Structure 1
Amino acid sequence: MTSEHDVPAEVLARFGAYARESSTLTILFHSRVAEQMGLSPTDEKCLDLAMRAEGPITAGRIAELSGLSTGAVTGVIDRLERAGYVRRVRDPHDRRKVLVEVTLDESRFHHLFVGATDTVREVLAQFTPEEREVLERYNRAMIETFRRRVVDA
């Protein structure tokens, strides 16, 4: 869904600056989390993708979701498996397929994300439910557009 509303250059510049700062802080946060988990940031985010899947996931699907090559994902899975976060299992419906199953006990690293959850709660508390709907619409549109232009490209 797109609109024909013009975006003034100064608004675009301001929102671009917000996005860059937010992106930088997000990368720094996940780099810190990854380090505490003994992982690289890429490995930590691929683990996150696998954790958000509804059950075991194929390496190919991780590649699709992450935008990484299948060869790079194989290396990620190898490292995650060595660290004890995932294991490779046979697909019960097609024994030729291998799936990636998360073995991580999420509660083990829950403390690493408490600050992020508290931050989101603190910020959202500053907005009315109606304003949150607009924020949610903005975030969904950004995610969908980014996925289409970056990952799905």
Structure 2
Amino acid sequence: MEPEALERFTWYMREQSALTVMFHARVAEQMGLSATDEKCLDLAMRADGPLTAGRIAELSGLSTGAVTGVIDRLERAGYVRRVRDPHDRRKVLVEVTVGDVDKFGAPFEKARDSLVEVLGHFDGAELQVIERYLQLQIETFRKRVIDT
């Protein structure tokens, strides 16, 4: 890759990252959470069901000790609750409580509308390339940066 192209893409990624972090910091503040807590809640909300603290640690890249603090704060704020695993009563799972999460949907609707607007500029073949890029970026970033 030519150095100029790498420089451009690095700038784009840094700008996109900064905008994303600031967006989530604003949403988290409205929810009475830290940005880390809000993102861990997001991970739990996107899961197929209740998660263990260990699984949240794996997904987030945080230590299990840090995740315990996150879960404590999310539980105090009413966003999650700890429940016993019905298959193994020794395990504790973290379950999202729907509650107040819905009232924070407006910022995410704006973000989704923005995504729809941008994706509308691309045809099907271009969207396949973009999707392949994003999948590879996520997989590689998780493996090299988060899971280290």
TM-score after normalising by structure 2: 0.97
* Residue pair 1:84, 1:104 contacting (<8 A) in 2 also: no
Query: Which residue of 2 is the match for residue 133 of structure 1?
Result: 128
Residues matched between the structures, number = 147
1:52 corresponds to which of 46, 52, 57: 46
Structure 2, unmatched stretches of 5+, are: none
Q: Confirm whether residue 82 of structure 1 aligns to residue 71 of structure 2.
A: no
Q: Confirm whether residue 14 of structure 1 aligns to residue 8 of structure 2.
A: yes
* SS in structure 1 at match of 2:106: helix
Q: Confirm whether residue 67 of structure 1 aligns to residue 61 of structure 2.
A: yes
RMSD: 0.8
Deviation at 1:151, TM superposition (A): 1.6
1:25 corresponds to which of 1, 13, 19: 19
Q: Between Structure 1 and Structure 2, which shows a larger proportion of helix residues?
A: 2
Q: Distance in 2 between matches of 1:122 and 1:44?
A: 25
- Deviations 1:39-82 (CA, angstroms, capped at 9, x unpaired): 00000000000001111000000000101000000000000000
Q: Distance in 1 between matches of 2:123 and 2:62?
A: 38
Deviation at 1:114, TM superposition (A): 1.2
1:38 corresponds to which of 32, 36, 54: 32
Q: Distance in 1 between matches of 2:107 and 2:20?
A: 13
* SS in structure 1 at match of 2:81: strand
Query: Which residue of 1 is the match for residue 103 of structure 2?
Result: 108
Structure 1, unmatched stretches of 5+, are: 1-6
